[in-house]
Amino acid sequence: MSDTIKEHMEIIVNALDEYEQSLNLPDVQNPCDKQEIQQYFSMKRDHIEKLSAEDCKQIAYRLSQFAFYIQRIYNREQARMVWATSKLQDVIADNLNNFDKYTKHEMKISLIKKQNKYADSLDNILNYASQREKRLHSLSFSIKNLADIMLANARGKTNV
């Protein structure tokens, strides 16, 4: 990735970080350590049944914090993809006329990416961010679902 792309991306990331700070959102930091979150993800049913209502509520809160963190990371990848796509489209548009009118559009795009280091770097960013985004897709909702299950478990313990 070229320094120019890194600089442009850093400007965008900083602007988005400033926007989040203007909304009083905290810095993006993982609220849980690895061991803690893995423990919550791998709890057996009999262990959950032995937890107090208060323990269930605390675990639900920690899971919700982690879900919020994952959602913010997901949003960052989406923003990176939007930026890279926009910049890549600009480069492609600037170079489309360099090819014969009978060259297929897809082939023109592939050739532009091959011939233009800036376009190739943008495409690499886009592919990497897309892969990360796909891995995170719906993960925050699944984690939030675990938190909701823990809250339901806590309510069941207090209603008994």
Question: What band does 133 get if pLDDT is binned at 50, 70 and 90?
Answer: very high
CA 123 to chain centre: 18
Q: How many CB atoms lie within 10 A of CB 104?
A: 9
Task: For the full predicted model, state whether its pTM sits above 0.85.
Answer: no
Is the pLDDT at 61 greater than 70? The verdict is: yes
Rounded distance between C-alpha atoms, residue 63 and residue 46, angstroms: 19
Question: Per DSSP, which regions of the chain are E strands?
Answer: none
Which pLDDT value is given to residue 158?
83
- Who's near 21: CB < 8 A, 6+ residues apart? 27
Rounded distance between C-alpha atoms, residue 25 and residue 75, angstroms: 14
Q: Give the mean pLDDT of 62-81.
A: 94
